[in-house]
Structure 1
Amino acid sequence: MSVSEGVGVSNRVETLEFQAETRQLLQLMVHSIYSNKDIFLRELISNASDALDKLRLESLIDKDLQVDTSDLHIAIEVDKEERTLTVRDNGIGMSRDDVVRLIGTIAKSGTAELLQKMKESKDAAASQELIGQFGVGFYSTFMVADRVILRTRRAGEEGGTRWESTGEGTYVVEDVEDLPQGTSVTLYLKPEDAEDQLFDYAAEWKIREIVKRYSDFIAWPIRMTTERTDEAGATTQDVQTLNSMKALWARARNEVEQAEYNEFYKHISHDWSDPLETIHMKAEGTFEYEALLFVPNHAPFDLFMREGKRGVQLYVKRVFIMDDCEALMPNYLRFVKGVVDAHDLSLNISREILQQDRQIQAVRRRLVKKVLSTVKEMQAEHADRYRTFWTEFGRAVKEGLVEDVDNRELLLDIISVASTHDANEPTTLRQYVERMKDGQKDIYYMTGESRAMIENSPHIEAFRAKGYEVLVLTDPIDEVWVEQIGAFDGKSLQSVAKGQVDLDSEDEKADTEPEREQQKKDFAPLLSWLTEKLTEQVKEVRLSSRLTTSPACIVGDAHDMTPTLEKMYRAMGQEMPQVKRILELNPTHPLVTGLRKAHEQAPADETLAETAELLYGMALLAEGGELSDPSRFTRLLADRLARSL
């Protein structure tokens, strides 16, 4: 892992290897996979701004921390002769361990997947979008620099750390003395391209342009020392602030350009693509606050990871208080980014207090209503954007149907699900209800692992034959919310794999009633015998009205838990009793009618028991279930096939 050089702890010098995935990522950076290289400076300024925020917050919390916060700022320094560019801050700084942990590795799972997608992508814009999902902006410096040196000292510590790398396989970490508090990053810029002066990052005008475009809203002053030569040849130096430092959320909506919103979003989210939707709101009265929220254009890589970040930034009177404030946004909206600036909270408020604060809870309710109503407007007026939103975040939003009872009706209005109506276009529940057949009382659905499995399931044969639409629900959360919701717009949600099914009209019932009564009499002995033989597997064997081509299927009682839900609970460590289900037979299928005749002629025949076992096994496999003894099933099937030849 490392080679140590030098003597003594105070002068440790180590050459360390980058994590494998980091090394691959750096190679992609060094060979410039992006068309817009200007963003490297935005990323460095954004990191410096975060460090200043954290220092001010820590100084408020830790009264023993001896730091000077009177002139917190970001400085940009250029040496044209040496072709170096330095971004310096006097913020919180980093310890040696922080440097190795945060810069030597990409400490996030999923990096291998990112790299694969980036390699496969031939589109620079698409690659830029991918890298934004993983928050690795520091590495963008190697798009413009041959060598990068980072110097840092954490507030409250005496010793500092120097980090250096050329973006190849290794980096050097060294203990150093006499460093100022904070962090500086020095880039040794690549040779200037004589044919393209637009990318001269040692030029004052270029730095001004980048700061104005990407970082004008940063709350801290971004300063640069400029030189001016008068007519007499005398040179003077002038320190200028390059940004306006105006908080976007405090400005009126009509005073802000969308481009400014976009750049602010990229600053707080470390995403490299524009947001899908911007929400700017202000509340006045007993509890005043401003909020600037964003719906991303794509799901973050950690959306479904337990350790994934969630929540928005909390400010109090423009003072940064907390990153990822979970109290302000429910878990199912964890992808929403943004800022809430409250006017009447204490500057040292804790996460625990926030969870119980009535004012914060009121703000949360308003924010959630606003986000959901914005999605509903998107659904009605901007179909393409809504489609993107639902593709990226729909699975998370459906968690709200379980978690957020207060907003359940609004959530039911905005969700989209797949259905048998159109294989390529999802449907809303409202659209489903509008298409319901005359006399149809229920909204039919089926849950399963995939659309293919559901569409090929025996359970929907009669529904397809009768022309009834069935919702196709394949997300794990679908198993939970359909059970809890129960109904929409006065229509019950009915699983096609549960309970009794009767799709015949009154006229059809009158025509088929005599035939069905006769079938019940004819099959009664067989059904009784099968129920006894399969008593370990099922609680009942009965005739089916949902099958048209398959010989058998397995269904649950109306209020039974589904097998998939059973598995989910067991996977979470919960003990669940085994739920016996019902085997339904198609009375018109040759296999079933043949079994009935064989049972009438020789009810004691041992092969009948094997046939019953095979019939149950086939029904279990048809719904995607698992056999308790696959080897026995295979042996019985092979023997039966051999005898038929």
Structure 2
Amino acid sequence: MNRESGSISINTENIFPIIKKWLYSDKDIFIRELVSNSSDAISKLKKLVSIGEAEVEDGTVYQIKVVVDKDNKTIKVIDNGIGMTGEEVKKYINQIAFSGAKDFIEKYKDKTDEGQIIGHFGLGFYSAFMVSDKVQIDTLSYQKGAEAVRWTSTGGTEYELEASDRTERGTTVTLYVAEDSQEFLDQWKMREILQKYFSFLPYELYIEDAASEKEEAKSEDKGKDDGESKKREPKPINDTSPLWLKNPRDCTEDEYKEFYRKVFHDFEDPLFWIHLNMDYPFNLKGILYFPKLKHEFETMEGQIKLYYNQVFVADNIKEIIPEFLMLLKGTIDCPDLPLNVSRSFLQNDGYVKKISAHITKKVADKLVSLFENERDNYNKYWDDINPFVKYGCMREEKFFERVKDIIIFKTTNGDYVTLKDYLERNKEKHENKVFYTNDENQQAQYIRLFKEQGIEVAILPSMIDSHFIQFMEIKESGIKFTRVDSDLSDSMKEDGAVVDKDIQDKLEKLFKDNLSNDKLNIKVEALKAESIPGMILASEHSRRMQEMSRMFGGADMSHMFPKEETLVLNRNNSLIKAVVKLMDREDKKEDVKLICEQVYDLSMMGHRQLEPEAMAKFIERSSTILAKLAEMSA
């Protein structure tokens, strides 16, 4: 063809500085764009071949090659795809998105918001100028009789179009790398970037280092002289058939686990997974894994990798993946996504919401299926998945509606029950109340009392549980969650027992005086468990308000919600009975004071850890009491 020069039809030289500006934060995006374009070119050719409009050589292996040449400071992206004619180069390369470039410049020259800029015009190829002083395209179309052409531009608006010496169908894009981007000439850095974006590209992807190839060629020539060949067969850096493309029926458990370890570098096997495989009304494939958590804080560290035609787009794109699903790990490939040119940002589209809703439904359906068909496994998984399920219920109304009947509670009896089961099994003991513990060790005394009366206690130890129980109280009208140290079930009290009002008043005054705390709430009950002299009950409402104030307002707001604690004295306990007998004796005032203080501290220790000063006094007082006991026994 005749050599041709001209201007790219944007009528301004401001386009390239803007390209560099709005893509600069993600500089490696240039290689993703170029390799993606190569992949698209191969896909187009395959389509034409499949409908009989193009021919390729028998045994053709479609592939893409990235060659880094540190000596010549170039990067080449080579494919054997559809190629372009000279006219197509003019159309697709010179005319940026065919029109509107003037408007683009005027509208965005002062903008810095990437979301506003990217995607409005066909600028993917031009990301090459982010790292290049000059870009060259050598291309030969699949069309019979086509001539190879070369397009060259130095990043302004000028270009040259001439004949190329390329002899094979496809395209080579050569970047003459600028001084400020020399790091991309490092083979290992380039390999890392390619594996980040193209681990599952549908066509074989190779990386070559020009210097290494030269050394290998020398070695090969020497090998021929020595009578032996040292040729090394190159291997693609990608897996062209990721597991999510297979039919779920054809996938084995070992394959799912191996794929999980490969993608997420997690040595722990996942608990279970959901294979998404959908063709209508949109194309969506992927695998979502429920990981085994090492600790509660890890629940916020999930990773959902989004792919577009097997090209990595980004992690955890909230428009597609509902927020609560970010706690999972997985891969989702959706070729129907309305992505813009950068392949990084989703256009605001109702279509995206439908995809998000579908993923939520599939996750909920999987959980329901496990509950109904594999209840033992579901129970085993619950300790790991319950933060995810609870968070999902609070964040997504539709998710809650689907899973509300399969939310289960582990109890102190060691089994797992739904809310409905719990209420049914305990209705004779208490109506519409769920007694729970958030610390089995600290609240052991209270739990024992409940167990002795045959009352199940739900175990809710996670941070999310304090929010979840309030959520459930709103959703399940009339249901009340009460911590074991907040209230006593009527079944724990002696049937028909009435505490004498005079005894109640005297014990209240006695303990307030000896503890020097006239604001202390004191209540006397006749409990069936005679071994317990006293216990502390803390108002559920007051405690929740305190916890919320610490979480959202800081410790300085805690004074707005003071602790509401009550010392419950057991009238049936022998120690309390003894105090009743001794409290009017002047000669036993010191002993009574010791007993009152000790009963209070013992009650408090069953409720929470004593402060250092209080603990020191408790130990000293315990020593005094033991000494008195030893004297009496001597």
TM-score, normalising length: structure 1 = 0.57
Partner residue of 2:579 out of 595, 613, 617: 595
Partner residue of 1:644 out of 625, 629, 632: 629
What's the secondary structure of 1:315's corresponding residue? strand
Distance 1:266 1:448, change over 3 A: closer
Q: Give the Cα–Cα distance (whole angstroms) in 2 for the partners of residues 303 and 463 of structure 1.
A: 28
Shift of 1:343: 1.5
Distance 1:592 1:572, change over 3 A: same
Aligned to 1:503: 491
What's the secondary structure of 2:491's corresponding residue? coil
| Conservation of the 8 A alpha-carbon contact between 1:401 and 1:485 | no
Aligned to 2:508: 527
Aligned pair 1:447/2:437, yes or no? yes
Q: Give the Cα–Cα distance (whole angstroms) in 2 for the partners of residues 403 and 546 of structure 1.
A: 42
Q: Give the Cα–Cα distance (whole angstroms) in 2 for the partners of residues 429 and 155 of structure 1.
A: 64
What's the secondary structure of 2:302's corresponding residue? coil
Shift of 1:579: 1.0
Partner residue of 1:314 out of 295, 306, 318: 306
Q: Give the Cα–Cα distance (whole angstroms) in 2 for the partners of residues 92 and 403 of structure 1.
A: 47
Distance 1:353 1:485, change over 3 A: same
Partner residue of 2:360 out of 342, 357, 368: 368
What's the secondary structure of 1:468's corresponding residue? coil
Query: What is the one-letter code of the residue matched to 1:338?
Result: T
Aligned pair 1:559/2:541, yes or no? yes
Aligned to 1:541: 522
Shift of 1:546: 5.4
Distance 1:501 1:437, change over 3 A: closer
Aligned to 1:582: 566
Query: What is the one-letter code of the residue matched to 2:278?
Result: K
Q: Give the Cα–Cα distance (whole angstroms) in 2 for the partners of residues 261 and 567 of structure 1.
A: 44
Shift of 1:396: 4.3
Query: What is the one-letter code of the residue matched to 1:325?
Result: I
What's the secondary structure of 1:560's corresponding residue? helix
Q: Give the Cα–Cα distance (whole angstroms) in 1 for the partners of residues 457 and 550 of structure 2.
A: 23
Which structure's CA Rg is the greater one? 2
Aligned to 2:323: 330
Q: Give the Cα–Cα distance (whole angstroms) in 1 for the partners of residues 551 and 489 of structure 2.
A: 28
Shift of 1:330: 2.5
Partner residue of 1:481 out of 464, 468, 474: 468
Distance 1:362 1:499, change over 3 A: farther
Q: Give the Cα–Cα distance (whole angstroms) in 1 for the partners of residues 591 and 389 of structure 2.
A: 52
Aligned to 1:346: 339
Query: Which stretch of the first structure deviates more once superposed, 578-587 or 313-322?
Result: 313-322
Aligned to 2:406: 414
Q: Give the Cα–Cα distance (whole angstroms) in 2 for the partners of residues 324 and 537 of structure 1.
A: 56
Q: Give the Cα–Cα distance (whole angstroms) in 1 for the partners of residues 237 and 391 of structure 2.
A: 44
| Conservation of the 8 A alpha-carbon contact between 2:67 and 2:207 | no
| Conservation of the 8 A alpha-carbon contact between 1:316 and 1:347 | no
TM-score, normalising length: structure 2 = 0.58
Shift of 1:419: 1.6
1:459-492 deviation line (CA, Å, top 9, x unaligned): 3454333222222333333333224422759654
Aligned to 1:432: 422
Query: What is the one-letter code of the residue matched to 2:327?
Result: R
What's the secondary structure of 1:312's corresponding residue? strand
Q: Give the Cα–Cα distance (whole angstroms) in 1 for the partners of residues 472 and 383 of structure 2.
A: 22
| Conservation of the 8 A alpha-carbon contact between 1:412 and 1:429 | no
Q: Give the Cα–Cα distance (whole angstroms) in 2 for the partners of residues 520 and 620 of structure 1.
A: 25
Query: What is the one-letter code of the residue matched to 1:432?
Result: Y
What's the secondary structure of 1:583's corresponding residue? strand
Distance 1:593 1:359, change over 3 A: farther
Aligned to 2:287: 293
Query: Which stretch of the first structure deviates more once superposed, 216-225 or 410-419?
Result: 216-225
What's the secondary structure of 1:498's corresponding residue? coil
Distance 1:488 1:181, change over 3 A: same
1:68-118 deviation line (CA, Å, top 9, x unaligned): 535579xxxxxxxxxxxxxx9849999xxxxxxxxxxxxxxxxxxxxxxxx
Shift of 1:303: 6.3
Shift of 1:639: 2.3
Distance 1:554 1:342, change over 3 A: farther
| Conservation of the 8 A alpha-carbon contact between 1:290 and 1:342 | yes
1:13-24 equivalent positions in 2, closer than 5 A: none
Query: What is the one-letter code of the residue matched to 2:273?
Result: E
Distance 1:520 1:401, change over 3 A: farther
Partner residue of 1:282 out of 278, 282, 285: 278
Aligned pair 1:221/2:215, yes or no? no
Query: What is the one-letter code of the residue matched to 2:340?
Result: L
| Conservation of the 8 A alpha-carbon contact between 2:200 and 2:310 | no
What's the secondary structure of 1:325's corresponding residue? coil
CA RMSD of aligned residues (A): 4.9
Aligned pair 1:632/2:625, yes or no? no
1:357-392 deviation line (CA, Å, top 9, x unaligned): 655444334323321331221122224532442243
Distance 1:631 1:320, change over 3 A: same
1:516-567 deviation line (CA, Å, top 9, x unaligned): 14x3333322224434655759641002355612111111235231599479
Q: When the two structures are aligned, how many residues end up with a matched partner?
A: 450
What's the secondary structure of 1:304's corresponding residue? helix
Q: Give the Cα–Cα distance (whole angstroms) in 2 for the partners of residues 92 and 326 of structure 1.
A: 35
Query: What is the one-letter code of the residue matched to 1:321?
Result: V
| Conservation of the 8 A alpha-carbon contact between 1:59 and 1:65 | no
1:27-176 equivalent positions in 2, closer than 5 A: 68-69=34-35, 71=38, 90=66
What's the secondary structure of 1:588's corresponding residue? coil
Unaligned runs of 5+ in 2: 1-21, 41-63, 71-174, 193-197, 209-219, 221-226
Shift of 1:620: 0.8
Query: What is the one-letter code of the residue matched to 2:204?
Result: P
Query: What is the one-letter code of the residue matched to 1:277?
Result: W
| Conservation of the 8 A alpha-carbon contact between 1:538 and 1:583 | no
What's the secondary structure of 1:629's corresponding residue? helix
What's the secondary structure of 1:541's corresponding residue? strand
Aligned to 2:451: 464
Distance 1:302 1:220, change over 3 A: farther
Shift of 1:61: 7.0
Distance 1:570 1:494, change over 3 A: same
Q: Give the Cα–Cα distance (whole angstroms) in 2 for the partners of residues 357 and 336 of structure 1.
A: 25
